Structure 1
Amino acid sequence: MTNAPHHFALNGVASSTAAALPHALPACRNAHIALFAIRRMGAGGLADAHVAHAFVGGFGEGFRRPLILIRVFMAELAETATLPIAIAPCCCARMTPAEQALLTVLARAETAPDSARLLLADLLGSRRVDGVLASACAVSQAFADAGRPIAG
């Protein structure tokens, strides 16, 4: 993502680590796949081969639709964001507030779109988030259609 940092720098102090990564990883395995894609594409670009490989393994032959839609989602995020989106490296066992918000948006896009819209507006620093919300809804639907709904 162009507006996101390419890596997440930690100050090396335990208290700053807790402040920078305040959220535990999600319990939902499907949210783990989405988080992996967000982290890898945020750092390595939309065509990251590790994400494609993870989606082939996670979705089988039906990997194309969720992969393409999460790429669109990430591109929309980068285009719409007026604020940096803090992402952690894939090896982190905790999440940033921005990552938590993105997973919450993906989980709520279909069931609570007003809540998801407000989260996106706060995260991206923009009131015009309808395109990103539509992309999030499409990702959520693709995961659910593949039997991997993202739980919040």
Structure 2
Amino acid sequence: MPDSTQPQCTLPLPFPDDPLERTVLVILRRMAIHGLRDARASWLAIEHFGLSFRQPLVLLRCYMHELASVSNRSIRIAPCCAPGMTRDEGLLMAALGAPALDLLETLTDADDVARVMTTACAVRKALMEPGDAG
């Protein structure tokens, strides 16, 4: 019989130290849990990116939409206040840091992840140059 005190969502990975990565992770969690148009996710983008918030926010929405459309499995997302990351969140963040087909295929259990890869590359570019996003 399973122990009812065991957490259902393990967090094997540490919460990111980098402020940008922390903000992006919380935005992605909010979108995954509360929907792509979550007001708090939008507010976090405004707080972090200032007047240049639109492009990163729209591309993060697109990234989540493409992942959901392509994925053949449930992607585990921790609650917004969780002190660590799930394995899937680690893959989500790694795919934004250095987009790679094998990461996205592992995350989604799908063979055709080209659209997700393209979106991840666009998100990465927008996050690296936030001043140019208008």
Do both share a fold (TM > 0.5)? yes
From 72, 89, 108, give the equivalent of 1:99: 89
Partner of 2:27: 37
Q: Which runs of 5 or more structure 2 residues have no equivalent in the other structure?
A: none
The correspondence for 1:12, drawn from 5, 13, 34, is: 5
**Matching of residue 71 in structure 1 with residue 67 in structure 2:** no
Shift of 1:145: 0.7
Q: Give ranges in structure 1 of 5+ residues lacking alignment.
A: 1-10, 110-115, 148-152
The offset of 1:12, in angstroms, is: 3.3
Superposition deviation, residue 123 in structure 1? 1.0
What is the TM-score normalised by the length of structure 2?
Answer: 0.91
Q: Once superposed, what is the RMSD of the aligned Cα atoms?
A: 1.4
Report the Cα distance in structure 2 between the residues aligned to 1:100 and 1:59, rounded to whole angstroms: 22
Runs of 4+ in 1 over 6 A off after TM superposition: none
The CA distance in 2 between the partners of 1:74 and 1:60, in whole Å, is 22
CA distance in 1 between counterparts of 2:55 and 2:31 reads 16
Matches within 5 A, 1:1-150: 12-13=5-6, 16=7, 20-109=10-99, 116-146=100-130
Question: How far apart are 1:142 and its partner, in Å?
Answer: 0.5
Secondary structure of 1:88's counterpart equals coil
Aligned residue pairs total: 128
Take 2:81 and 2:12, find their aligned partners in 1: how far apart are those partners? 15
**What is the TM-score normalised by the length of structure 1?**
0.80
